[in-house]
Amino acid sequence: MSLSILSRRAAAPLVAPRFAVAARRGYHEVVHDHFNNPGNVGSLDKEDKSVGSALVGKASCGDVIKLQVKVGEDGTIQDAKFKTFGCGSAIASSSYATEMIIGQNITEASKITNSDISSHLKLPPVKIHCSVLAEEAIQAAIADYKTKNSSEASALRGTPAFP
């Protein structure tokens, strides 16, 4: 082998060792960052009228995402929390999804797609289902918030189911 080839091989890991390891595993560095340092992990009070909650999962892979949103009176998502049982891509998708929706109104947040999440995280094709779960969790949490706060639901609260 020539010296120039040896020096290039030796130099490559020194230039970007974390990226090289991530690329070998098939995950982009941004997935590793969200997995190792996930944002917005936790829970909100599900009894709070301003909190919408969702629990979504995929039986075939075992991933489960619990996502909650706290919505202000102006319709803006003030906070979002998640707990995920699953692979690193599911955790990264949940973490990034919460970062995306905080500060958005519920109409804007409901337009977020799995493609928005997966393209940012650069998920490999076999892990796209993780971003689909995150999208479904956002949609379900917003739907739960809307159900809790619809005028019909408010009027029925405290009313017995059977007279």
Residue 163 lies in a domain: no
Other CB atoms within 10 Å distance of the CB of residue 51: 21
- The predicted structure's pLDDT at residue 21: 45
Is residue 78 included in any domain, yes or no?
yes
CB 83 within 8 A of CB 66: yes
In the chain, the amino acid numbered 115 is: S
On whether the pTM is more than 0.85, the answer is no
The C-alpha atoms of residue 64 and residue 160 are separated, in whole angstroms, by 33
For residue 74, what is the domain's CATH number? Answer: 3.90.1010.10
| Catalytic entry in 61, 87, 102, 128 | 61
pLDDT of 78: 99
Which segments of the chain does DSSP mark as H helices, in order? Answer: 3-15, 17-25, 29-36, 88-101, 106-109, 114-121, 128-149, 151-156
Write the pLDDT tens digit of every residue in 79-122.
999 999 999 999 999 999 999 999 999 999 999 999 999 999 99
User: Residue 3 domain-assigned?
Assistant: no
For residues 36-63, give the mean pLDDT: 93
- The average confidence (pLDDT) of the chain is 83
Task: Please choose, from the candidates 134, 142, 151, the residue with its C-alpha nearest in 3D space to the C-alpha of residue 105.
Answer: 142
Domains identified in the chain, total number: 1
Instruction: Report if residue 1 sits inside a domain.
Output: no
Q: Which domain holds residue 60?
A: 13-151
For residue 87, indicate whether it is catalytic.
Answer: no
Asked if residue 46 is part of any domain, the answer here is yes
Confidence of residue 9 (pLDDT cuts 50, 70, 90): very low
Higher per-residue confidence, 113 vs 18: 113
Q: In what order do the strands lie in the sheet with 51-58?
A: 51-58, 63-71, 77-85
Q: Which of 130, 133, 134, 142 is catalytic?
A: 130
Can 130 be counted among the known catalytic residues?
Answer: yes
What Å distances lie between residue 71 and 6, 39, 109, CA to CA? 57, 18, 11
Q: Would you say residue 19 has pLDDT above 70? A: no
Residue 58 confidence (pLDDT): 86
